[in-house]
Structure 1
Amino acid sequence: MEKLVLVHLSDIHFTKWSGTTAHDLDADVRNELLRDASKVTKEIGAATGILVTGDIAFSGQQAEYERAAYWLLELCQALGCPEENVWVVPGNHDVDRKVAGSKVTRSLHEGIRSKGEISIDSELREIFSDPQSASALLAPLAEYNKFAARFQCSISAEKPFWERDLALDCGTVIRLRGLCSTLVSNAHDEKGNIVLGAAQASVPRIDGVEYLTLCHHPPDWLRDQDGILNHLESKVRIQLFGHKHSQRVQMINRTLRLTAGAMHPERNERDWIPTYNIIEITRRDDERIGVRLFQRRWHQIECRFVAENASNSGKDHHDYVWQDCPRPAPRQAGQTPEARKMTRAEVAVSDVVAAKTTAKEREAMPTPNYQRRLTYRFLTLPFRHQFAIAESLNVLTDEDGALSSEILFREVFKRAASAGLLAKLWNETEKRHPDPADFNPFDGSN
């Protein structure tokens, strides 16, 4: 892509009543955000994706995620953004507090919080290596995970963070990494009591790859913040946060730290001001990448979103430049097509097909965007349709009836890829939607 245009929302706090009653005061805020974001993206270019830094729901319940999913689809349609190009991380409101208060989960939380910063990662590693302990720790995020699976953003013991690559035309990769700061979130959250784990923030330096991280809790809320800050401030170009309900921009070393504020702040807050960001990333020259930040805030008198103008220039945006970002070298003449394919797979293939997939399965995988669409479209169908699709492919086993939607899809995708049935999986999925695609990217005849 010539440029990336990313809409950054946070603390959208959907309840089961959102959009379902005439007494929903925030309906006008959402409508004005749709209008404003549509206006800005028409001027600078269609949105590449939508990034939500937590608190999608209000109390981590299924009905809340259903309302959030419906509105996010509306937002994608308004911005010309593919409906599957939404990336999310959990916030404290995405935790089911009742589940988090169970004795087993509460004991795990207390045990982790009792550790010093140097011991937190070893404690998390031990818990995640035990299936029963891992299940209890992640149980409060069960509904979040069901919602996030359609966007390939769910959290697991094997990988408590997710990654996704977006490439500029020059070949530079902007690698999104979603961090989970709610592993020990419960009714007793307070500053210095939140745990992330340095393993999530430890990103590798790779030529031609620049990191953008999403996390709900800002660093000053983290119990293990010192080691994490070393990684984020030295190796990450943009850090996105939520939670604080106020917009903030900081330049620290080589990194730009953005707090979106809240799209749905609680109305009893003293300074009730809905906010959000739009981020534009473009290649400036052979050595520099430019970032243009549009901060948008609610105007109390005019009841609409307006620009938070830059104080030094008066413009409706802020400009930042990443130095030392050389344009990637062109492909070497001796590199084979097979090697190129594997290189792209290493940086672009998502977690739908696990790391244990065979080379044959990887060869059968389509362009990542089509895989994301297939994931999204399959997981937004009712479970009965998902199971019917799997049965039509004849890839089910007797044990599959107990699988969750996400795990079922992973298995179906891998088996369909191995059997050469991805074209049928696409067709069976698309025909169950009211707006089926008019082509099949897996059909070799196209």
Structure 2
Amino acid sequence: MEKLVLVHLSDIHFTGSSGNVHDVDQNVRDELLRDATELTTKLGAATSVLVTGDIAFSGRKEEYQHASAWLRKVCDAVGCEEQQVSVVPGNHDVDRRLAGGVITKILHQSIRALAGPAIDSKLREYFSDTQSASALLAPLAEYNVFAQPYGCEISAKAPYWQRDLHLACGTTIRMRGICSAYVSNAEDDKGKMVLGTAYAGVQRENGVLHLTLCHHPPEWFLDQDPVEDHLKSKVHIQLFGHKHAQRVDVINDRVRLVAGAMHPERREPAWVPTYNVLEIERRDEEHIGLRLYQRRWHQPETRFVAEYDPNSGMEYREFKWPGFPRRRPVAASPQQAPSAAVAQVARPVPAPVEVPATPAVDANPSAEDHKQRLTFRFLRLPTLDRYQIALTLGLMREGDDALPPSTVFLEVFQRAVEAQRLAELWDETEQRHDDRAPFNPFRNSQVGE
């Protein structure tokens, strides 16, 4: 059966002291790794790890460093390549010190005073103005540094991110990460958050199943009604966080999943850590199905256990959608191995998860997969190494010194694409990593022109 396996986490709430000897949540994290390893051994290696916000606790750099290190462990545990992590920000990912700045606060107030189409007009106006956009996005600066290697940063030009995952049968799972934290500060409350209708407006397309990630559920939005219309009519799988309680609703045959929190506040009356695993696969010639495995913390046994479906008694809930006819898969050439995505979804019996010493790199040149890996590995290097690579390849330009590093190195990467120098960038990047790739996929065919 062709399938994708997605590990869904939310509200992981890393603090500056996470991981020290006083951290009472360390055991919860360790047990999640054990449980996720066992589940993905049974289902097959994870295709992606999805985090629906509140990665940090107060939007600070050291909190994201702890989160990044732990997500690396999650990927190792579930057999997922690290660049396949996908994240969106939540209200705890906002630096409240910057959100309370005079200009940012005025912008927030002006947006929250509006209703209907005026909200979208104001967002378009502010994101089209350099100074206004900078003030709105400043509280998410550290989130963006963390999210950029994953390709999930939020900017005025790209207020949401989108990426495709493919089943071998030809169906595309189109993921969109939408941000509910543009207008987030100390005055957050239900009905005061803003999403933006255009950013939730996915496009119908034959053979495409839509999946969205967002931190706040729709009832928290000032622009709830138009956003709901898009979600309920077109998005098959809607992932949310924030509420610290698992919940599954089916609306217009669409599945809305509120994840619960991996790290809820221990003083909460109903403290129960949770996470989910989604298995998406073809059911028959016309249907794509979802099996949802909900996992919750069992305090007496201090481990994660299955949340059983009350109707079927199974350890998963099952859903399926018609209108996805099977397409003829594209066969790999005899000289090439099948792509990583096809290899994961095509195997009839999943092998036990083993983390290789050197991460596998697909021998079949796939532009987006290889560019995504190279982007991740390049942006994860220390700043000095990235500058040295840019200088070695002659990719620096006059005026770059005035730009923030997060902007400079995206420009450097794009210049390498335009100059057809990704093979050289790959070599320079890999030689600075201990776990070097066994070969350069750009060496024989320049990808990404």
- TM-score by length of structure 1 reads 0.90
Distance 1:154 1:221 in 2: 22
Deviations 1:369-396 (A, max 9, x none): 1111111111111101110110110121
> CA separation of 1:445/1:415 partners in 2, compared to 1, >3 Å: closer, same or farther?
closer
- SS, match of residue 155 in structure 1: coil
User: What's the Cα RMSD here?
Assistant: 1.5
- SS, match of residue 166 in structure 1: strand
| Matched residue, 1:388 | 388
Shift of 1:445: 8.1
Distance 2:165 2:181 in 1: 26
| Matched residue, 2:183 | 184
- SS, match of residue 277 in structure 1: strand
| Matched residue, 2:39 | 40
Deviations 1:72-114 (A, max 9, x none): 0011011110011000000000000000000000000000000
Kindly indicate whether structure 1 or structure 2 has the higher relative contact order, using CA contacts under 8 Å at least 6 residues apart: 2
Shifted more, 172-181 versus 417-426: the winner is 417-426
Shift of 1:15: 0.7
- SS, match of residue 62 in structure 2: helix
- SS, match of residue 326 in structure 2: coil
Distance 2:419 2:324 in 1: 42
Distance 1:62 1:416 in 2: 29
| Matched residue, 2:427 | 427
Distance 1:241 1:328 in 2: 31
1:114-125 paired onto structure 2 within 5 Å: 114-125=113-124
Paired residues of 1:52 and 1:89 also in contact (CA < 8 A)? yes
1:213 partner letter = T
2:271 partner letter = W
Distance 2:271 2:417 in 1: 50
| Matched residue, 2:296 | 297
Distance 2:24 2:126 in 1: 43
| Matched residue, 1:57 | 56
1:17-416 paired onto structure 2 within 5 Å: 17-19=17-19, 21-328=20-327, 367-416=367-416
Shift of 1:421: 1.8
| Matched residue, 1:359 | none
Paired residues of 2:168 and 2:329 also in contact (CA < 8 A)? no
- TM-score by length of structure 2 reads 0.89
- SS, match of residue 84 in structure 1: helix
Shift of 1:329: 6.9
Shift of 1:224: 0.7
| Matched residue, 1:7 | 7
Paired residues of 1:379 and 1:405 also in contact (CA < 8 A)? no
Distance 1:329 1:24 in 2: 51
2:164 partner letter = D
Distance 2:36 2:373 in 1: 23
Distance 1:227 1:382 in 2: 43
Shift of 1:409: 2.6
Distance 1:417 1:90 in 2: 28
Deviations 1:297-353 (A, max 9, x none): 00010000000011112111111111222234789xxxxxxxxxxxxxxxxxxxxxx
2:47 partner letter = T
Paired residues of 2:169 and 2:329 also in contact (CA < 8 A)? no
Paired residues of 1:56 and 1:65 also in contact (CA < 8 A)? yes
Shift of 1:397: 1.4
1:417 partner letter = V
1:94 partner letter = D
Distance 2:296 2:304 in 1: 5
1:83 partner letter = E
Shifted more, 429-438 versus 108-117: the winner is 429-438
| Matched residue, 1:16 | 16
Distance 1:445 1:185 in 2: 45
Distance 1:135 1:170 in 2: 43
Distance 1:366 1:389 in 2: 24
Distance 2:145 2:27 in 1: 28
Distance 2:122 2:81 in 1: 39
- SS, match of residue 290 in structure 1: strand
Q: 1:438 and 2:438 equivalent? A: yes
Paired residues of 1:234 and 1:254 also in contact (CA < 8 A)? no
1:242 partner letter = G
> CA separation of 1:151/1:330 partners in 2, compared to 1, >3 Å: closer, same or farther?
closer
2:86 partner letter = W
Shift of 1:64: 0.4
Shift of 1:418: 3.0
Shifted more, 436-445 versus 24-33: the winner is 436-445
Paired residues of 2:215 and 2:241 also in contact (CA < 8 A)? yes
Shift of 1:53: 0.3
Deviations 1:49-82 (A, max 9, x none): 0000000000001100000000000110111100
Shift of 1:142: 0.5
Deviations 1:345-364 (A, max 9, x none): xxxxxxxxxxxxxxxxxxxx
Distance 1:202 1:246 in 2: 27
Paired residues of 1:219 and 1:225 also in contact (CA < 8 A)? yes
2:420 partner letter = G
Shift of 1:119: 1.1
Distance 1:274 1:90 in 2: 19
Distance 1:409 1:328 in 2: 39
Paired residues of 1:366 and 1:442 also in contact (CA < 8 A)? no
- SS, match of residue 126 in structure 2: helix
1:225 partner letter = Q
Paired residues of 1:292 and 1:318 also in contact (CA < 8 A)? yes
Deviations 1:270-306 (A, max 9, x none): 0110000000000111210110000000001000000
- Identity of aligned pairs, percent? 59
> CA separation of 1:113/1:385 partners in 2, compared to 1, >3 Å: closer, same or farther?
same
Distance 1:326 1:420 in 2: 37
Q: Which runs of 5+ in 1 are unaligned?
A: 332-364
